[in-house]
A and B are shown apart, each in its own frame.
Chain A
Amino acid sequence: MTKTFSLPPDSAAYLEALRAELADLPADERDELLADVETSMIEAAEEGEEGISDRLGPPSLFAEELRVAAGIQGHSPTHAGQASALDSVVAVIRRLLADPRMEGALRLAGEFAPIWWLLRAYVAAAAIAWAADSWSTEHPAVPRFGSVALSVVVFVAFAAISLWLGVRGRRIASGTPAQRALVLLNLALAGTAIPVAVHALDTRAPIREIVVAVPAEPQAGLTKNGAPLRNIFPYTRDGRLLHDVLLYDEFGQPINLGGPGFPDPNRRVLVTAGGARLYNSFPVRYFEPHSRKVAHPNAGPSVKLPRVVTPPLATPLKRHGAKARTKSPRRAAPASR
């Protein structure tokens, strides 16, 4: 029984990646090509070589070189639509990263990777919150899942996963499907970070409910201080209740109480010669039910009338019971000359 010699995991992954890159070749040709590679990998591993993909470079480039050296048609993107758009993007990125000038920048980026790991956990949580529009009301940039406790649990879980992926990702060979998936995840989260950031910047002020006291609509009809009036009782300064006083405002408009829209069969409404009904005469009087008789024409609220001492205006008012003394000269009785 021959011994089977297994490859270290990253070498095996590399080999699989190569196999994928050469998937368009006939099986035996591909196997022959890769057999040499596999053998050398095993020997290299036995000799204690590490970092196979660092030594060999990205699988796609390795596979390309294999093809060229072996005289096989190159793997062009126009070939039967083999390479997807993602592959092209990944290839461009890889070529960029392979540039020796990027080494310093990459090393620096590697140092800061843990910060990105935490940031992407937040972005992942925020992405869900953004889709579901469930943010904290206190801090609009903080996602909220049900209760505060649950939100904390979710965020801690995301952070843990992200950190684990970050550490694990360091050991994944470049070019493998696993690495490709990780790159895709990072790109997706980086892309999602944009709307999340827009949201976070947008809603800086926390949402507070403001109760605005909207003044009530002015009441139609006769009101005093917002409350409807039922009647007005005009008295003279001498304490006499007036009847059928017509009231007008400063615009000459009648101050109506009620109107045609509020017919009250018991209300005593004054009528003009032309048949118009007046609703601005006060006090408003009501008939006894089923009659045309006002029961108490002098009725009024109990009012304690004040003693007015201010001298009256030019036109004196009619006194109760007394004949009017007007300034206008009485018409002289026709005298025979």
Chain B
Amino acid sequence: MDRSQLLRGTLDAAVLATVAEQDGYGYDVLRRLRGAGLNDVGDASVYGTLRRLYRGGALTSYVMPSDEGPHRRYYGITDRGVALLDEARLTWADFSATLNLLLGMDVGVTA
């Protein structure tokens, strides 16, 4: 099973979920994703995804001026983003359940 392919398919949902939990800037989102266990997620993938979701209207963006560090561009989730996230949850629940059965896994999935 190709992790990178799986990641590519689910990164949108992962990013949406992360931002939905708390607004974040690019590097912060990346850190949180890695901290959650997605160690192999690429920087470019996250930044690119954030931009795309923003352009698609799933995220808002604002700049937070800072004196301690550089100005950070924060992303927050929009209603559309929330809707996409809910959709993704359903898709994942269905897909993973099917695959669990197929692969003969005993793990149950909590939606």
A and B physically associate: yes
B33 CB to closest chain A CB (Å) equals 13
Identify A5's interface contact among B44, B47, B50, B70, CB under 8 A. Answer: B70
Q: Find chain B residues with CB under 8 A from A33 CB.
A: 47-48, 51
Do A42 and B47 touch (CB < 8 A)? no
Identify A39's interface contact among B11, B27, B49, CB under 8 A. Answer: B27
Q: A70 contacts the other chain (Cβ, under 8 Å)?
A: yes
Q: B65 contacts the other chain (Cβ, under 8 Å)?
A: yes
* CB contacts between A and B, total, < 8 Å: 76
What residue in chain A is nearest B72 (Cβ atoms)? Answer: A39
A5 to B47, CA, bound (A): 21
A18 CB to closest chain B CB (Å) equals 9
Are A69 and B48 also in contact (CB < 8 A) when A39-B27, A43-B27 are?
Answer: yes
A44 to B28, CA, bound (A): 11
Q: B67 contacts the other chain (Cβ, under 8 Å)?
A: yes
Q: B45 contacts the other chain (Cβ, under 8 Å)?
A: yes
Interface of A is mostly: helix
Q: Find chain A residues with CB under 8 A from B50 CB.
A: 36
Do B26 and A39 touch (CB < 8 A)? yes
What residue in chain B is nearest A55 (Cβ atoms)? Answer: B43
Q: B52 contacts the other chain (Cβ, under 8 Å)?
A: yes
B63 CB to closest chain A CB (Å) equals 9
B53-111 interface with A by 8 A CB criterion:
55, 65, 67, 69-73
State the interface size on chain A (CB cutoff 8 A): 26
Q: Which of A38, A40, A44, A65 gathers the greatest number of chain B CB atoms within 10 Å?
A: A40
Q: Find chain A residues with CB under 8 A from B46 CB.
A: 69
What residue in chain B is nearest A33 (Cβ atoms)? Answer: B51
Are A70 and B27 also in contact (CB < 8 A) when A5-B70, A38-B70 are?
Answer: no
Q: A62 contacts the other chain (Cβ, under 8 Å)?
A: yes
Q: Using an 8 Å CB-CB cutoff, how does the interface string of A51-64 with B read, 1 for contact, 0 for none?
A: 00000100000111
Do A65 and B70 touch (CB < 8 A)? no
Residues of A participating in the B interface, judged by any CB pair closer than 8 Å: 2-3, 5, 32-33, 35-40, 42-44, 46, 56, 62-71
A-B contact pairs, 10 of them (CB 8 A): A36-B25, A37-B44, A39-B26, A39-B27, A62-B43, A62-B44, A66-B47, A66-B48, A68-B48, A70-B48
